[in-house]
């Protein structure tokens, strides 16, 4: 009987060890959150300073750095895919959430001349909110959900403000939904 | 009352493989080998036993011109694992 008990305990230990070993590493992709977070936050602030403090009309050129980051991210995930030896449900869920996010983001950029930048920016913030709250649910990481909610609130406020303030709110939204959770992910698992 | 434990799962390495595969969709043979700290020979034997029982599906293909073996748990495997867990519960339940 004692032997049987020990074996049962061993079995439970093995199951628990394997679940831990195959768990999604939360800190795995934090570099991507940080890269986009800092890039968008800094670009929005530079855009604001150049256009609304220094009066430079071509300030929006600052956003042309985004496609470059898009290429860097594509290379990062292509390399990661090559090294990947396991497919998990978490990875699949995250891939589809962020694929949807990117497709809607590109669609918004395409239709932006129709609805003006002032109309599009709040939707960007809603979009950050949807993606980060969904991700938070999948990886069980609360700071991302909190960041997502703050981002949505920024979007609501932005809808009532002039474009120059929307830039500052966009910066705040991305710092709360990408940058802060990105740093906190380092110590989480 | 103690429920009988599935002898196929009540083995260290086979249980480790099944627990791992319960948590992922598909895993490469080398990934399982690394996580379970098993030797390739032993793992191969145990994987084949699980495959013969219909608990896992094994697929052989190529990746960058190298042979690649991937494993995936089947519906039968999931049911067997759940039954095994339920049987384990009967041992740890306070009497």
Residues A158-188 have pLDDT tens digits of 999 999 999 999 999 999 999 999 999 988 7
Taking only the tens place, the pLDDT of each residue in B27-86 is: 999 999 999 999 999 999 999 999 999 999 999 999 888 899 999 999 999 999 999 999
Work out the minimum CA distance from A37 to partner chain B, whole angstroms. 30
Tokens for B75, please give them: 């519906």
Assess whether pLDDT exceeds 80 at residue A4: no
The answer to whether residue A6 neighbours chain B at the CB level (below 8 Å) is no
Question: Nearest-CA neighbor of B17 among B1, B39, B2, B33?
Answer: B33
pLDDT at A82: 83
Q: What is the pTM of this model?
A: 0.83
* pLDDT at position A6: 52
pLDDT at A67 over 80: yes
Residues B70, B61 contacting (CB under 8 angstroms): yes
pLDDT of residue A3: 40
**How sure is the predictor about A142, in pLDDT bands with cuts at 50, 70 and 90?**
very high
Q: How far apart are CA A189 and CA A182, in angstroms?
A: 13
pLDDT bucket at A72, cuts 50 / 70 / 90: very high
- Residue A66 near residue A124, CB atoms below 8 Å: no
Give the list of residues 6+ apart from residue A91 with CB closer than 8 angstroms, or none: A24
Task: Judge: B20–A15 Cβ closer than 8 Å, yes or no.
Answer: no
Provide φ and ψ at A87, rounded to 5°.
-115, 125
Beta bridge partners of B73: B56
Q: How many domains does chain A have?
A: 1
| Assigned CATH class of B12-90 | mainly alpha
Residue A165 belongs to a domain: yes
Alpha-carbon torsion, ordered A162, A166, A167, A168, to 10 deg: 110
pLDDT at A2 over 50: no
**Whole-angstrom Cα distance, residue A179 to residue A20?**
27
* C-beta atoms of A88 and B35 within 8 A: no
| A144 inside domain | yes
Q: Where are the domains of chain B?
A: 12-90
Nearest residue, CB atoms, A22 vs list B15, B24, B28: B24
Residue-level pLDDT at A189 = 60
Q: Give A30-56 pLDDT, tens digit per residue.
A: 999 999 999 999 999 999 999 999 999
Nearest to B24 among A7, A10, A88 (CB): A88
Q: Does A85 have pLDDT greater than 90?
A: no
CA distance B77 to A132: 34
Domain around A153: 28-187
């Amino acid at each position: 009987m004692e032997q049987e008990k020990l074996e049962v305990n061993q079995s439970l230990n093995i199951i628990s060890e394997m679940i831990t070993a195959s768990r999604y590493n939360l800190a795995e992709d934090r570099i991507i959150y940080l890269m986009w977070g800092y890039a968008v936050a800094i670009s929005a602030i530079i855009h604001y300073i150049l256009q609304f403090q220094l009066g430079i009309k071509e300030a929006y050129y600052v956003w042309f750095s985004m496609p470059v980051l898009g290429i860097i991210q594509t290379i990062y995930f292509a390399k990661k895919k090559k090294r990947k030896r396991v497919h998990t449900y978490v990875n699949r869920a995250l891939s589809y959430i962020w694929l949807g996010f990117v497709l809607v983001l590109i669609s918004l950029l395409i239709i932006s001349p129709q609805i003006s930048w002032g109309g599009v920016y709040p939707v960007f913030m809603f979009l950050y909110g949807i993606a980060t709250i969904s991700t938070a649910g999948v990886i069980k990481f609360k700071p991302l959900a909190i960041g997502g909610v703050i981002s949505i609130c920024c979007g609501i406020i932005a809808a009532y403000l002039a474009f120059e303030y929307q830039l500052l709110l966009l910066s705040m939204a991305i710092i709360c939904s990408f940058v802060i959770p990105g740093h906190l992910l380092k110590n989480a698992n | 009352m103690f429920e009988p434990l599935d002898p196929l799962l009540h083995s260290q390495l086979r249980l480790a493989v099944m627990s791992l595969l319960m948590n992922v969709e598909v895993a490469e043979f080398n990934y399982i080998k690394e996580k379970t700290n098993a030797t390739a020979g032993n793992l191969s034997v145990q994987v084949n036993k699980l495959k013969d029982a219909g608990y896992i599906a094994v697929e052989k293909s190529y990746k960058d011109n190298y042979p690649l073996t991937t494993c995936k748990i089947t519906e039968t495997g999931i049911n067997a694992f759940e039954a095994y867990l339920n049987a384990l519960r009967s041992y740890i339940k306070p009497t």
